Structure 1
């Protein structure tokens, strides 16, 4: 019996009769919406569990449902091995050579057999090549390899970033997330800690909370520094040093630093962020299947990355609206060790338990699979509505699973534990028991269909690299983060001064006023003396790019036998921090980001695994800084008191600017002759534009910034050529930071009339150009939000369209079901009549045979008339019964044909519904919203001083930016 292709309906296999041990004709479908109450899959090795789960994921892909798959062993990577043409050459690169050898075949013969096996297997389940092609093209399949460059790399930094929705109003959720992240981070360094009880957890959790409350992102180096010098004085009623002595904090910081010191750490920060929408959808809104391959990781590393992933999934979930449709899948293969019963509590358990309890309302389905049913928290799994159980290894496993089924059973279910026990005792491979609380027919056995993906077993990292090579090339140069530098860029015991000025304040009229910088801040950066450390530059940065050395991995990390770099003396002996300047201490206490800028790294070689320079290679340093560049003066220009001046913040230190220079040039500095701070004059203009549109619901403000370097005394400015990245006015100062050299302003900048005219000109330009575009779907009448990306809008609209589609599918199915049920009732009636007619006909045939024999004897005795009459009557009855049987048989055939046509009509109708809403979901219009001129305000307009570093590198004078280069939008 062919299956019906229908949205929301997963084709899982066919019913299995335990008495005959054969397949029935009845197709097993699974409603995707039932997955919102989650699924548990249990089965020993060889039960067919992997094939069953891959079939489930294939069906989800065909229904355009994105998925994140946690794959500790590598089995789920087989989802990428789909070959619509089913040719032997398609399978050839992926067959296991050892399997061919064990079969006594050459690789070519074995490959040909595998291809034929897949063609025959799929055909036996009515799966045709176009269905395989549809599945292959329905989603983008990615394999991520955390901590490795074999597949797509991932970055953990996004997981440490402050929540974009803010802190207030989400305190409980954010604290739960912090608790999970900190527990995983401590496990990564070998510490099994508990929230509230262990001081390490309390300290680091407070560091997170302090940063996130103020909207500041964290990095691992920030955490290391702040563990040594916490940005708060007390924890509870005790001061920090009483609660957690400085010596012990230093030890914890060293253990955390071992993570950064490992050369392999770069692979943890360069890559795609763990941003759930980006893992589920492409930029065009197409579904993704993101497989996280973790076979190469240690248990601690695996637990760490899984925890981050689960916590990010929870954070994303809370930003969603409720839905009854399946929005996405989280598949966790081999959950063994990550969801154990009490009293065990690994970092992964709490976020997974929260997802099981809360994700249903948001349309997130969770599928947990394991071959070890003894290591599951069945109390927690009582939230799972579907259980699929394959062959089990021991009676003890069976008892545990039966207990889990009973815990998950609803009050009105009629579960017969004894019959289920019997069924589970005699399961064959690929035969599973399904218990779905949404299916009133009760538990039943089914045989899984043939997978469209080639099940070759776990892929190697080289095979993953081959599969992901096109994607890796496309990602080259993206998501590259510099190695942590905060703890290496300043020598031990020195003070790192802030790179941003004190916050400014915006007056009511829209102009910027700023607090002058602290008078104790230094002026020009120090001229080098006799060692590279005194420059604030790490000496090893001046080696050729191909020769930069790194500290061997610490012994605490896997694969390492080399001890970590030598430790400095304890902090109380050398001093591990430098106090804040008094006049900024108060401000820093309320700004963790500013506070961290004043904190000293633990030690120079203590960071990121960079060694001091080797004896044969040193950096040549001069005692004198570079000469004054042309056009610059030691004194600021004399300007009218009415001329507004603004100083942009120093965003890059000298060493950071040097690193950028090295990356641009492709080689490293060998000689450094000191640095000077320069200020370059530009016309700095920034306008705030308010957009208010009641129809679209848009109400937002946006900034437009411009940096014009040379303003002539007359003429028009082409503003679009000078558009720059806007800056928060609070970061702008009206005073320079210490002594610097100043460029000469162009003529237009000092002309009051010219500047007044440019104000009007700029407002006119912004009025003409500053339209905001929002997306719109006319069918659903849904407008996009201001600054909403196309992907995010498509995700939102797709979910709304899916809900509408599911409603229409339910109505269509209900209408056809009523007609098909009537036909099936008539068919059963006709079938009963046919069975009865056949029985009567068989009896008449026997009677006819008996009558004929009796008649022959009667003729011999001379009873001719009676005998012939009886023979005639019996044959007439037989003929009538045969005619009735023939009519009934024809009725049965007709009804079967009508039912088949009705099913085809249902499939066509469902396909039309699906195509209609798929088109709706992909239709995006654009609506432009222009501001009123009265809604444009200039908040910054005047001479802007852009900082730069004037340095001597390799005997050449170079100007390096200290503020991000102009970026057009």
Structure 2
């Protein structure tokens, strides 16, 4: 909901400072407009023509989110959002000099330095006028890390989009609709990049690539671009539907598609799409340590087809990340798109449209807020508008735009506050620059008009590629060891059992031979080859190692942990080795159920070491393996005493801090709601008393005025009687006495009015003090729920001997491809 507030301390719990209210008279006020971050889970749309202040509102909203430690991915088709990196705590002319426009300075008859200083002065004064100290800029920089990413370019931080088509998470694959949409969107994005407008139901290209992706993704495997090209030529499927592959898409035609994709891959400018950080929503939203990020995805330099491809891939990745998160009612993260034109049109169906509609429908349950910005409301599909709970409407360009918005607002407000269309039309027509009409469904349809606040970041206009490169290079150079971001608080360690070390190196050597004969009580296992031979004259050769597998139960009643780990390890053993250094062994990513008792025919074998041939050694190795697990193989978790939460198995400290912040936000919103409700009841009682006191003032003033009138009449009558006679002296005396009595009552009535005013003023003071108490408690609560400052304990849980079950111990024969020159490569 929207909060009315006269207090300058606008840094309130879970609230975004957007601007100041404009009164019904059209006059600007000093009343702050604060927006509850939780309301953004029902998404928002910003509508306004060029010059309306739409970008400034968006930048301000992103700044508020960052200060509130809410991460943001911002898609920037125009280049304006990169200004979020131009925040300078000192705000001096020297800070702005590299970013001001030399031509503008020249046109004003000023040197570059003079113009930069004038801009810095204007920014300092603007921030001060909006009650924002320069320290708030530092708070913004400290709260979140800002980066500019440039897919297909090395100007900013490059993003590797085509290096790998990573398989969706298990949660996505388990959701039929989400999985099908991910396959369709990725396929359409790829074909869009090839300038192929492919229908999912009729296009052979779309059907083939979708089936290839599904084949690999069903197994949890990803594909790189080279692998996709190879799979197009030699698909891993034989049938499409009920028809054979060649009947649907001949080998010759498939080769043509593969050549087209290979040509794109081989083009000189395409290398940038294969370089850079991976397209990973987790890394775009947070640092490794769990600190929130504002990731500006600058795509102004791309062609229309490249933009559509990248946006589609990014939205697919965000949905994949979103589906892996637990549900929450608080705002977890924001997806912001600065210009939605062409990505969610009302008639056409580009690949980005179904993904955006999916986000608008489902993201709320995961705490992901979507903010879409556009110049024209007709650029948006009506389904998208109907799924947004907050509308920010600025100056509109055409009557058609105005009517579309008016119809939407009147329909949205039905059943809440009665909204007169004519009044709305007058309000929209009267909006000036940086003025917006706010409609928020959480405010019961109540409409507000406000001026947007002064942004903390310097607005240099759309950044060029050279400016982006300078910004990102400066940031990279500034990350010297002395200025690296401060690490999270130290982690205290609690160890249940003391570890015991066990040294010993590993050695392996053997000679090519036929399958050796081992004692019958030495178990032997074979790993099947899964990689094709690299050369036609290579042959299969098995090499031996010691393998051990165990099921280990880590149990702790105190920390409510019951975790079963399946462990498979392999280590080479030399001829005389009896003691095994299991800490140096390789953890094998294999399932013991996939091992077989026989190897491939016509394969050769390396001679096992003498130690592997001694059956007595295996009993010793079994004991050593169990001791290693018991003493060295511990389960490490993190514990937050404040929130009484422990990390999950395999969860990094950074990911745990992210989860803690989400839980902290939930509890913060709940606690803040209870606190506000408690104070609202007290304020309501005082306001009721104040209202009655004001009624008393009005009544006493009315009585005093009437008494004055009666007294004046009485005095006048007495004076006239005394002057002109017409009565007895005693009657005149009585009238004079009555007039004096009435004069005394005037004094009493006046005193009553003053007493009533003092009582009302005292009540107003109490209301103000109560509101100040609420803000102090909210501020203290904000520090309490900041998980980034939370000191974590590291909890080490070790398995007891009774919870360690060794399921196999023996010789594992691993397959290799042996070349004639003696060089060997893994075949698994």
Task: List aligned pairs for 1:357-756, cutoff 5 A.
Answer: 357-409=361-413, 411-440=415-444, 442-469=446-473, 472=476, 633=511, 635=513, 640=518, 642=520, 683-691=545-553, 693=555, 695=557, 696-708=560-572, 710-713=574-577, 716-724=579-587, 726-729=589-592, 730=594, 735=599, 746-756=609-619
Counterpart for residue 824 of structure 1: 687
Contact 1:648 1:963 in 2 (8 A): no
CA distance in 1, matches of 2:645, 2:788: 11
State which of 49, 57, 60 in structure 2 corresponds to 1:52. 57
Contact 1:379 1:407 in 2 (8 A): no
CA distance in 1, matches of 2:823, 2:768: 76
State which of 797, 813, 824 in structure 2 corresponds to 1:929. 797
Contact 1:159 1:308 in 2 (8 A): no
Equivalent position SS for 1:447: strand
- CA change 1:470–1:698 in 2 (3 A) is farther
CA distance in 2, matches of 1:648, 1:960: 20
1:190 deviates by 0.6
Cα-to-partner distance string for 1:447-475 (whole Å, 9 max, x where unaligned): 11211222222222233233333665799
Contact 1:691 1:929 in 2 (8 A): no
- CA change 1:844–1:299 in 2 (3 A) is farther
Equivalent position SS for 2:221: coil
1:832 deviates by 5.5
1:868 deviates by 9.7
Counterpart for residue 336 of structure 1: 341
Counterpart for residue 630 of structure 2: 767
1:848 deviates by 11
1:692 deviates by 5.1
Equivalent position SS for 2:329: coil
The farther-off stretch of 170-179 and 93-102 is 93-102
CA distance in 2, matches of 1:328, 1:737: 56
Instruction: Tell me the C-alpha RMSD between the 2 structures.
Output: 4.0
State which of 794, 797, 806 in structure 1 corresponds to 2:660. 797
CA distance in 1, matches of 2:470, 2:788: 36
1:814 deviates by 0.9
1:285 deviates by 2.2
1:161 deviates by 1.8
1:800 deviates by 2.2
Report the TM-score when normalising by structure 1.
Answer: 0.73
Contact 2:679 2:770 in 1 (8 A): yes
Cα-to-partner distance string for 1:704-739 (whole Å, 9 max, x where unaligned): 52424535355x343323445544554899648977
Counterpart for residue 317 of structure 2: 312
Counterpart for residue 91 of structure 1: 96
CA distance in 2, matches of 1:118, 1:849: 61
Counterpart for residue 777 of structure 2: 909
CA distance in 1, matches of 2:286, 2:797: 27
- CA change 1:361–1:406 in 2 (3 A) is farther
Task: List aligned pairs for 1:269-280, cutoff 5 A.
Answer: 269-280=274-285
CA distance in 1, matches of 2:715, 2:455: 60
CA distance in 2, matches of 1:436, 1:166: 33
Counterpart for residue 767 of structure 2: 899
CA distance in 1, matches of 2:162, 2:800: 40
Unaligned runs of at least 5 residues, structure 1? 477-629, 657-673, 953-958
Equivalent position SS for 2:351: coil
Cα-to-partner distance string for 1:38-78 (whole Å, 9 max, x where unaligned): 11110011111111111212222222222111111121222
Counterpart for residue 13 of structure 1: 19
The farther-off stretch of 251-260 and 884-893 is 884-893
The farther-off stretch of 689-698 and 64-73 is 689-698
Counterpart for residue 494 of structure 1: none
1:906 deviates by 0.5
The farther-off stretch of 61-70 and 850-859 is 850-859
Report the TM-score when normalising by structure 2.
Answer: 0.84
CA distance in 2, matches of 1:741, 1:147: 48
Counterpart for residue 354 of structure 1: 358
CA distance in 2, matches of 1:878, 1:315: 78
Contact 1:432 1:447 in 2 (8 A): yes
Contact 2:668 2:785 in 1 (8 A): yes
Equivalent position SS for 1:360: helix
Counterpart for residue 31 of structure 1: 36
Unaligned runs of at least 5 residues, structure 2? 1-5, 481-507
Counterpart for residue 293 of structure 2: 288
Contact 2:661 2:787 in 1 (8 A): no
Contact 2:542 2:815 in 1 (8 A): yes
State which of 142, 145, 150 in structure 2 corresponds to 1:140. 145
Counterpart for residue 258 of structure 1: 263
Equivalent position SS for 1:322: coil
1:91 deviates by 2.6
Identify the structure with bigger relative contact order (alpha carbons < 8 Å, sequence gap 6+). Answer: 2
